[in-house]
Amino acid sequence: MGETKLRILELYSGIGGMHYAAELANVGAEVVFSVDINTSANEVYRHNFKQTNQQSRNIESLSANEINKLKPNVIMMSPPCQPFTRVGLKLDVEDSRCSSFLHLLEVLPHLETVSFVLMENVVGFETSEMRNAFTKALKSCGFYFREFLLSPVSLQIPNSRNRYYLIAKKFTNFTFGTETDIMTAFPSNSCDVNMPSVEQSTLEPYLEKSFADEELARYLLPAKTLVKYWRILDVRQRSDISSCCFTKAYTHYAEGTGSVLQHDSSESFREKFAEFEKDGNVAHLKPLQLRYFTPREIANLMGFPAQFSFPENTSLRTRYRLLGNSLNVHVVSSLLKILLE
């Protein structure tokens, strides 16, 4: 790719998952401008990427003229997913949160230097009116595209996070797949898939190594949560090779928001739960030390590097919420390499 770096415009940048993915891909590309409207996410982004021009503003305020001055070659984005989620109202293009994305589609034909697009969203986007509008806009601007439904599990990462991805490029078509198929695995001819450096896909390597007692206490499940929700908790052991998707409501709601961990693996999970079931005494469960995964552990599973951190003033609840809204760095990085190869 020579000396000149590809220039990335990062939209709906969140806490910087796309930026880290671009760094990990190591494809000679740099983020030149980054935009998000969420002030908490922007604080975390700026804390980690002090050199990047990151602006807190509505994407609808970005004109084609302003974008063209930045001369971006690549747009990476993760637009609001609430209009398409399984728990949302599924208002699709009628949802006001789609207006910034619709604005982008209007601007797209006037962008002079953009040749590549990578987009992430929730499963459900692929059947939406917004997806139809997006692919139609891409085609009319001369882009070829491919769509995927992928989870980190396909990279041997022990965490489920099935998401919709689209990659698009101008000038040359892809050598795999078609525009009518949604792929559920990385293309078999691609050697550009980023396997994490962890050999075994158990949870153990992703976990924090040591806990002070007061630190552990901070993450233990409250007794009332155990009593009320023990039947629906997704309890994992360190040796497990999978975990459920962590959502923005993790720790706030018990059902379907992410797995919990048995911190003390020397105890028998089945025995303790059987004892608890007999007499309802929650003390039986105490030796298991059932706890929430920490924000650092979730960040590890999502592929954020060791140097990623939150500002000290970011509350625990906000950390979980921001991670739940983020993306898997390894999956995006692998797709970026495929797109730019």
pLDDT tens figures, 81-128: 555 444 444 544 455 667 899 999 999 999 999 999 999 999 999 998
What pLDDT score does 164 carry? 97
- CA dist list (Å): 324 to 60, 217, 231, 250, 271: 24, 22, 23, 8, 32
Q: How confident is the model at residue 199 (pLDDT cuts 50, 70, 90)?
A: low
pLDDT surpasses 90 at 200: no
| CA–CA separation, 243 and 226 (whole Å) | 19
**Mean residue pLDDT across the chain:** 92
Give the burial string for 238-250 (b: 16+ CB within 10 Å, else e).
eebeebbbbbbbb
Average pLDDT over residues 314-337: 97
Average pLDDT over residues 36-60: 97
pLDDT above 70 as % of the chain: 91
Average pLDDT over residues 236-254: 96
**The whole model's pTM is what?**
0.93
Average pLDDT over residues 196-221: 86
DSSP letter assigned to residue 322:
H
Angle between helices 129-140 and 99-107 (to 10 degrees): 10
**Angle in degrees, CA 60, 309, 52, rounded to 5:** 40
**Angle in degrees, CA 160, 243, 273, rounded to 5:** 150
Active-site residue, selected from the candidate residues 81, 141, 191, 245:
81
| CA–CA separation, 166 and 335 (whole Å) | 9
Q: How does strand 163-170 pair with strand 143-150?
A: antiparallel
Does 244 qualify as catalytic in the annotation?
Answer: no
Per-residue HEC secondary structure of 249-299 comes to CECCECCCCCCEEECCCCCCHHHHHHHHHHHCCHHHHHHHCEEECCHHHHH
Q: Which region among 28-37, 150-159, 191-200, 247-256 has the lowest average model confidence (pLDDT)?
A: 191-200
Nearest residue to 135 (alpha-carbon basis) of 101, 163, 162: 101
| CA–CA separation, 246 and 16 (whole Å) | 17
Average pLDDT over residues 223-242: 95
pLDDT surpasses 60 at 152: yes
What pLDDT score does 99 carry? 85
